[in-house]
Amino acid sequence: MSVRRDLLLITVDGFGKRVPTRQIRLTGRDRKGVRVIAHGATVAAALMVRDSDTIVIATRAAKIQTVAAHEVPRMGRTARGARVVRLLDGDTVASAAVTVPVNGQRPANVARETRSAAADGLERPGAGPGGWAR
């Protein structure tokens, strides 16, 4: 049984999309590559995902958001993508990761949950040893 996997792309301005891997052709070693996002967009994260995966997205302003992979729309290679994260002025997406199931269980609350480190009483990175301070 083959599991369908997509390439998930998230840009620094909060847009994202899934591109089916069958739309990405293999190129030779001396080629320029294959464009998979609209011209001018800066990619913050590129991940291989399944429909059942959960993605955690972090911004530079310490906002953490979880998104179910199936909520991010599948689009063509050169499409811009859809808004995945609402950002405050001056904020950008810093990174994203696929969560790892614990004991075969995925996180229970995959609804668009947003947490901020500031809401947890933490200051921004660089405030102390390890980057976080209470």
CA gap 87, 60 in Å, rounded? 10
Radius of gyration for the chain, computed over Cα atoms and rounded to the nearest angstrom: 16
Domains in the chain: how many in total? 1
Q: Is residue 52 part of a domain?
A: yes
More confident residue, 89 or 115: 89
Each residue's pLDDT tens digit, 30-88: 777 777 888 788 999 999 999 989 999 999 999 999 999 999 999 988 888 999 999 99
Question: Token pair 């590129």 is at which residue?
Answer: 46
Q: Is residue 63 part of a domain?
A: yes
Is residue 133 within 8 Å of residue 127, measured between CB atoms?
yes
Say which CATH number the domain at 15 has.
2.120.10.90
Q: Is residue 87 part of a domain?
A: yes
Q: Is residue 1 part of a domain?
A: no
Q: How confident is the model at residue 11, as a pLDDT?
A: 94
Angle of CA points 116, 119, 124, to nearest 5°: 65
Task: Tell me the residue range of the domain where 91 lies.
Answer: 6-131
- Structure pTM? 0.71
User: Is the pLDDT score of 104 beyond 50?
Assistant: yes
Q: Is residue 92 part of a domain?
A: yes
Mean pLDDT over residues 105-122, rounded?
49
Mean pLDDT over residues 125-131, rounded?
45
Q: Which tokens go with 130?
A: 């390890």
Distance set, CA 99 to CA 56, 108, 113 (Å): 7, 12, 14
Mean pLDDT over residues 107-126, rounded?
47
Q: How confident is the model at residue 128, as a pLDDT?
A: 42
